[in-house]
Amino acid sequence: MNALLFLFAFTYLVLSALGQRIAIGEPAEWTTVKPGSNITVEVDRPLTLTGSQEVSIAIGLWPCGGYGDAANRSCAEIDVTQVLGNVVYAGPYNPQLVEGQEAWKPPYQNFTVTVPSTFEDGQVSLGVAHFSLIGAGAMPFMEVANITLIVQS
Protein backbone atom coordinates (compact mmCIF):
# COMPACT_ATOMS: atom_id res chain seq x y z
CA MET A 1 0.00 0.00 0.00
CA ASN A 2 2.83 2.40 0.89
CA ALA A 3 4.55 1.69 -2.44
CA LEU A 4 1.30 2.37 -4.31
CA LEU A 5 0.90 5.72 -2.55
CA PHE A 6 4.51 6.63 -3.38
CA LEU A 7 3.99 5.66 -7.03
CA PHE A 8 0.83 7.78 -7.23
CA ALA A 9 2.54 10.82 -5.66
CA PHE A 10 5.59 10.43 -7.91
CA THR A 11 3.43 10.12 -11.04
CA TYR A 12 1.43 13.21 -10.04
CA LEU A 13 4.59 15.28 -9.55
CA VAL A 14 6.09 14.13 -12.87
CA LEU A 15 2.89 14.91 -14.79
CA SER A 16 2.60 18.29 -13.04
CA ALA A 17 6.16 19.16 -14.03
CA LEU A 18 5.62 18.11 -17.64
CA GLY A 19 2.57 20.36 -17.85
CA GLN A 20 4.75 23.35 -16.97
CA ARG A 21 7.23 22.90 -19.82
CA ILE A 22 7.96 25.92 -21.98
CA ALA A 23 8.41 25.98 -25.75
CA ILE A 24 10.21 28.40 -28.03
CA GLY A 25 7.44 29.71 -30.28
CA GLU A 26 9.67 32.05 -32.31
CA PRO A 27 11.96 32.12 -34.13
CA ALA A 28 11.41 28.84 -35.94
CA GLU A 29 14.17 26.26 -35.80
CA TRP A 30 16.81 26.71 -38.56
CA THR A 31 15.93 30.40 -39.04
CA THR A 32 18.82 32.40 -40.51
CA VAL A 33 19.94 35.41 -38.44
CA LYS A 34 22.65 38.02 -38.96
CA PRO A 35 25.36 38.89 -36.42
CA GLY A 36 24.42 42.13 -34.63
CA SER A 37 20.72 41.86 -35.55
CA ASN A 38 17.77 41.95 -33.15
CA ILE A 39 15.49 38.92 -33.03
CA THR A 40 12.24 38.29 -31.18
CA VAL A 41 12.19 35.22 -28.97
CA GLU A 42 8.68 34.07 -28.05
CA VAL A 43 8.58 31.83 -24.98
CA ASP A 44 5.31 29.87 -24.68
CA ARG A 45 3.94 28.14 -21.58
CA PRO A 46 0.90 25.88 -21.87
CA LEU A 47 -2.20 26.35 -19.75
CA THR A 48 -2.29 23.96 -16.81
CA LEU A 49 -4.58 22.99 -13.96
CA THR A 50 -1.65 22.73 -11.58
CA GLY A 51 -0.85 25.95 -9.75
CA SER A 52 2.48 27.48 -10.61
CA GLN A 53 4.48 30.62 -9.95
CA GLU A 54 6.86 31.82 -12.65
CA VAL A 55 10.22 32.92 -11.29
CA SER A 56 12.52 33.74 -14.22
CA ILE A 57 14.12 32.77 -17.49
CA ALA A 58 17.51 33.25 -19.10
CA ILE A 59 18.04 33.32 -22.86
CA GLY A 60 21.41 32.49 -24.33
CA LEU A 61 23.06 32.06 -27.72
CA TRP A 62 25.95 29.64 -28.09
CA PRO A 63 27.89 28.97 -31.32
CA CYS A 64 27.87 25.19 -31.65
CA GLY A 65 30.80 25.07 -34.06
CA GLY A 66 33.04 26.55 -31.44
CA TYR A 67 36.58 27.46 -32.32
CA GLY A 68 39.81 25.54 -32.75
CA ASP A 69 39.36 21.75 -32.51
CA ALA A 70 35.57 22.07 -32.09
CA ALA A 71 35.12 24.09 -35.32
CA ASN A 72 32.58 22.79 -37.83
CA ARG A 73 30.62 20.74 -35.29
CA SER A 74 26.83 20.85 -35.50
CA CYS A 75 24.51 21.53 -32.57
CA ALA A 76 23.32 17.92 -32.83
CA GLU A 77 26.82 16.71 -31.86
CA ILE A 78 26.88 18.69 -28.60
CA ASP A 79 24.70 18.57 -25.47
CA VAL A 80 23.39 22.11 -25.84
CA THR A 81 21.14 21.75 -22.76
CA GLN A 82 24.22 22.14 -20.57
CA VAL A 83 25.30 25.61 -21.73
CA LEU A 84 23.57 28.91 -22.51
CA GLY A 85 26.65 30.65 -23.91
CA ASN A 86 26.23 34.40 -24.35
CA VAL A 87 23.34 35.32 -22.04
CA VAL A 88 21.31 37.95 -23.89
CA TYR A 89 18.44 38.13 -21.36
CA ALA A 90 18.06 37.13 -17.72
CA GLY A 91 15.08 38.27 -15.71
CA PRO A 92 11.39 37.92 -14.97
CA TYR A 93 9.06 35.76 -17.02
CA ASN A 94 5.36 36.60 -17.02
CA PRO A 95 3.56 34.83 -19.88
CA GLN A 96 0.13 36.24 -20.72
CA LEU A 97 -2.89 34.85 -22.52
CA VAL A 98 -3.85 37.56 -24.98
CA GLU A 99 -7.60 38.12 -25.21
CA GLY A 100 -9.01 37.59 -28.68
CA GLN A 101 -6.04 35.54 -29.88
CA GLU A 102 -6.41 32.20 -31.57
CA ALA A 103 -7.67 29.44 -29.28
CA TRP A 104 -4.58 27.31 -29.96
CA LYS A 105 -2.14 30.02 -28.82
CA PRO A 106 -0.81 29.41 -25.27
CA PRO A 107 0.21 32.16 -22.83
CA TYR A 108 3.51 33.66 -23.98
CA GLN A 109 5.96 36.51 -23.59
CA ASN A 110 8.17 38.07 -26.29
CA PHE A 111 11.77 39.16 -25.72
CA THR A 112 13.88 41.19 -28.15
CA VAL A 113 17.52 40.11 -28.00
CA THR A 114 20.61 40.93 -30.03
CA VAL A 115 22.70 38.30 -31.80
CA PRO A 116 26.31 39.06 -30.78
CA SER A 117 28.12 40.82 -33.61
CA THR A 118 31.19 38.64 -32.97
CA PHE A 119 29.40 35.44 -34.04
CA GLU A 120 30.81 33.77 -37.15
CA ASP A 121 28.73 31.99 -39.78
CA GLY A 122 27.41 28.61 -38.70
CA GLN A 123 24.98 26.96 -36.31
CA VAL A 124 24.08 28.57 -33.01
CA SER A 125 22.00 27.14 -30.18
CA LEU A 126 19.25 29.39 -28.84
CA GLY A 127 18.62 28.17 -25.30
CA VAL A 128 16.01 29.24 -22.76
CA ALA A 129 16.48 28.22 -19.12
CA HIS A 130 13.17 28.39 -17.20
CA PHE A 131 12.67 28.33 -13.44
CA SER A 132 9.28 28.12 -11.71
CA LEU A 133 7.61 26.83 -8.56
CA ILE A 134 4.81 24.29 -9.03
CA GLY A 135 2.09 22.81 -6.89
CA ALA A 136 0.77 23.69 -3.46
CA GLY A 137 4.13 22.90 -1.87
CA ALA A 138 6.04 25.20 -4.25
CA MET A 139 8.27 22.47 -5.70
CA PRO A 140 11.21 24.05 -7.60
CA PHE A 141 11.23 23.19 -11.30
CA MET A 142 14.00 24.00 -13.81
CA GLU A 143 14.26 23.14 -17.49
CA VAL A 144 16.09 24.18 -20.64
CA ALA A 145 14.56 24.39 -24.13
CA ASN A 146 16.75 24.73 -27.23
CA ILE A 147 16.49 25.28 -30.96
CA THR A 148 19.19 25.66 -33.61
CA LEU A 149 19.57 28.84 -35.66
CA ILE A 150 21.89 29.58 -38.58
CA VAL A 151 24.14 32.66 -38.37
CA GLN A 152 24.99 34.04 -41.78
CA SER A 153 26.65 37.42 -42.46
Query: Any idea what the CATH number is for the domain that residue 66 is in?
Result: 2.60.40.2550
Q: Name the more confident of 71 and 42.
A: 42
The full 3-state SS of 75-87, as one line of letters, equals HHHCCHHHCCCEE
Phi, psi of 147 (to 5 degrees): -140, 165
* Confidence class for position 1, pLDDT limits 50, 70, 90: low
How much is the average pLDDT of 71-100? 84
As a whole-number percent, the residues of the chain with pLDDT over 90 amount to: 57
Parallel/antiparallel/unpaired status of strands 122-134 and 32-33: unpaired
Cα angle 146-147-151, degrees, rounded to a multiple of 5:
125
Q: Name the more confident of 135 and 15.
A: 135
pLDDT of residue 31: 97
13-44 residue pLDDT tens? 444 444 468 999 999 999 999 999 999 999 99
Number of folded domains in the chain? 1
pLDDT of residue 24: 96
pLDDT above 90 (res 66): no
pLDDT above 60 (res 6): no
* Confidence class for position 10, pLDDT limits 50, 70, 90: very low
Q: For the beta carbon of residue 64, count every other beta carbon within 10 angstroms.
A: 21
* Confidence class for position 133, pLDDT limits 50, 70, 90: very high
Domain range enclosing 106: 2-151
